[in-house]
Amino acid sequence: MRASILVLGPLLARFGEAHVAMPGGCNIGSRKIDLHLRGLERMGATFHQEHGVLHARAERLHGAVVSLDYPSVGATENVMMAGVAARGTTVIENAAREPELADLAAFLTAMGARIDGVGTPTIEIEGVDRFRPVEHRVIPDRIEAGTFAIAACATSGEVVLAGARADHLDLVLSKLAEVGAEVLITEAGIAVSMDRRPRAVDLVTLPYPGFPTDLQPQMMALLAVAEGTSIVTENVFESRFMFVDELNRMGADIRTEGHHAVIRGVERLSAAPVRALDIRAGAAMVIAALAADGVSVVEDMYHVDRGYEDLEGKLAALGASVRRERALEPTRTGA
């Protein structure tokens, strides 16, 4: 799993050593862990890799100025978790600003950590020696909420996202309103409905607070049936468009040119056997299948299961005709 690397900083801070299997995750582009390692090296850690395992040591982590080449969420989290227990002050420059990072900081602060600047490009962390146990409620999953909102729009339906945080989905909700959805924000959550064919819109993915790359495939499925031509620019992962051939198999008219995808909306998609190539692409194929005429089969759903809990059950509760045929094993190639 991609998130396995996130135990590196906490283990080093607490035990002075860590042995972590090299992470996997979705094959959507170059997501090297060099930002994590360089940040922790600045704090006194040393690393070597052997037989697919990353070995790390640190006598005692110390504060440092860590300048990230890119505002990586994972690298910011790793350095933050290491910094709260390091000796001295750690400063993260060009830090990520995602809500999940702010939630982590709130959790650590409740435990006794000293963290300033969360939500800005510069985070300052003062190491402490002791932490206290706390109870913490994790924020709602904004990507899951966005996925269901987009699914409602693609099927001319409606959904109430109970507990969802509109302030975490500002740009997404704005884009859905732009395609023609009715968006109602209340204290209880977000209501999204659509009673017409969506309008074409352009969108550009960027780190938060920009449009999230993790909702780009789902939006592409929606825009595939929009009236007009849309242009999607992907600035985060260079291989995020790998699923386009699967959408085109269902009758979509999408052409990719480098980091851009030109989507000429069609009136209807047609059922077809398709594959989930990664978590978000799989969610996009499910949305496309819901919007298509006929019965579609989405294979390799194990990808989707890594990012969504009981997706088909929640969709069925909303009125979708969807079921899990059987537990599918990962497709294997080669000897």
Among 319, 251, 261, 333, which residue's Cα sits nearest to residue 290? Answer: 319
- The whole-number pLDDT of residue 315 equals 97
Alpha helices by DSSP H, 180-230? 216-223
In this prediction, residues 306-328 reach a mean pLDDT of 90
330 compared with 151, residue with greater pLDDT:
151
- The whole-number pLDDT of residue 237 equals 86
In this prediction, residues 64-79 reach a mean pLDDT of 97
Same fold, 2-126 and 142-317: yes
- The whole-number pLDDT of residue 24 equals 61
**Is a pLDDT exceeding 80 seen at residue 251?**
yes
175 compared with 335, residue with greater pLDDT:
175
- The whole-number pLDDT of residue 311 equals 97
- The whole-number pLDDT of residue 280 equals 97
What digits encode the pLDDT tens for the residues 193-245? 999 999 999 999 999 999 999 999 999 999 999 999 999 999 998 889 999 99
97 compared with 238, residue with greater pLDDT:
97
- The whole-number pLDDT of residue 327 equals 56
- The whole-number pLDDT of residue 285 equals 98
In this prediction, residues 305-325 reach a mean pLDDT of 95
- The whole-number pLDDT of residue 4 equals 84
**Is a pLDDT exceeding 90 seen at residue 3?**
no
- The whole-number pLDDT of residue 325 equals 86
Residue 220 CA to residue 227 CA, distance in Å, equals 13
Domain boundaries, the chain: 2-126, 142-317
Residue 204 CA to residue 231 CA, distance in Å, equals 8
Taking the CB of residue 150, how many other CB atoms lie within 10 A of it? 30
- For 142-317, which CATH class? alpha beta
- Model confidence band, residue 314 (pLDDT cutoffs 50, 70, 90): very high
pLDDT more than 90, % of the chain: 89
**Is a pLDDT exceeding 90 seen at residue 292?**
yes
- The whole-number pLDDT of residue 2 equals 60
In this prediction, residues 65-69 reach a mean pLDDT of 97
Residue 150 CA to residue 155 CA, distance in Å, equals 9
**Measured in whole angstroms, how far is the alpha carbon of residue 220 from the centre of its chain?**
16
**Measured in whole angstroms, how far is the alpha carbon of residue 306 from the centre of its chain?**
11
- Beginning with the edge strand found earlier in the chain, give each strand of the sheet holding 46-50 in spatial order: 17-21, 53-57, 46-50
Reply yes or no on whether 153 is catalytic: no
Fold of domain 2-126 = UDP-n-acetylglucosamine1-carboxyvinyl-transferase; Chain (3.65.10)
- The whole-number pLDDT of residue 29 equals 46
In this prediction, residues 124-142 reach a mean pLDDT of 98
- The whole-number pLDDT of residue 31 equals 52
- Active-site hit among 26, 154, 223, 279: 26
In this prediction, residues 39-60 reach a mean pLDDT of 94
Long-range pairs of 4-8 with CB within 8 A, sequence gap ≥ 24:
5/33, 5/36, 5/54, 5/74, 5/78, 6/74, 6/77, 6/78, 6/81, 8/36, 8/40, 8/54, 8/56, 8/78
- The whole-number pLDDT of residue 23 equals 78
pTM above threshold 0.75: yes
In this prediction, residues 124-152 reach a mean pLDDT of 98
**Phi and psi of 230, rounded to 5°?**
-115, 150
Average pLDDT over all residues of the chain: 94
